Amino acid sequence: MSGPEPFGARLRRAMDARGPLCVGIDPHAALLAEWGLNDDVAGLERFSRTVVEAVADRVAVLKPQSAFFERFGSRGIAVLEASVTQARAAGALVVMDAKRGDIGSTMAAYAECFLHPDSPLFSDALTVSPYLGYGSLGPAVELARESGTGLFVLALTSNPEGGEVQHAVRADGRNVGATMLGHLAAENAGETPLGSFGAVVGATLGDLSSYDLDINGPLLAPGIGAQGATAADLPAVFGPAVRNVVPNVSRGVLRHGADVVALRDAAERFSDEIRAAVAAM
């Protein structure tokens, strides 16, 4: 009996059908206030439900940021569970932005929380941190393969502090970011139409031609919109790998407030701009 369809294949199909846009669900306190909502569980629930209603039936990926739900304790986690279920039911793939990273049984428990089909927080993919060593992600890689889910590994992030670790040069002459890309290329070797193990690579980083971004897997690219990058920048940053880029937009969409139509229109504008930029390559 064949196992579940791999995340990479499902993502490729969703990107081809809906475009590659990923919309973040980031209900931080300032944004709740901009929407006229209280910074409480009721405001959190209203915010998340509105975003899901507006775009989950039309974008390829939704990416809830777990921390903004966790800060409300068990009631916030319950909202997150409902949001994941509702988004997936509407056809969006859910990438849980939790950036988990640990060793051994603890890493396995994090993986089970987000990547096991029996978990209330079961998502299509999970962001993870490899900075206890790429091998520490082994339990998550194994469960992702079993459950047909995926991982997005922090490789070349857009925050200025990231270079302290990611640009550090190893004894073999490669820096740490390039090493992570190499590990992911090995995980995805031979997979079609797309591997399930992706990298997080900032869209604001400029020319990345010195890196081999052809990992046969998706590249989750934050930075479009409020952080300063535009859809038109994507080909110059990612080169031939741009077809596998999943550009993430959060504030650029969410700032349009609690109106479903306005959120939907903003997402569609970004999606159209991204499609045009990718097609121009």
Percent of the chain residues past pLDDT 90, beyond the cut: 94
Active-site choice (99, 243, 251, 269): 99
Q: What's the pTM? A: 0.97
The gap from C-alpha 198 to its chain's centroid, in whole angstroms, comes to 9
Q: Of 268, 179, 273, 181, which Cα lies nearest the Cα of 234?
A: 273
pLDDT at 1: 47
Task: Please state whether beta strands 125-128 and 150-156 pair in parallel, antiparallel, or not at all (unpaired).
Answer: parallel
Q: What angle do CA 267, 198, 266 make, to 5 degrees?
A: 5
| Residue 56 or residue 1, greater confidence | 56
Is 63 in the active site?
no
pLDDT at 190: 97
24-50: average pLDDT: 97
213-221: average pLDDT: 98
Over residues 102-132, the pLDDT tens digits come to: 999 999 999 999 999 999 999 999 999 999 9
56-79: average pLDDT: 98
169-198: average pLDDT: 97
pLDDT at 131: 96
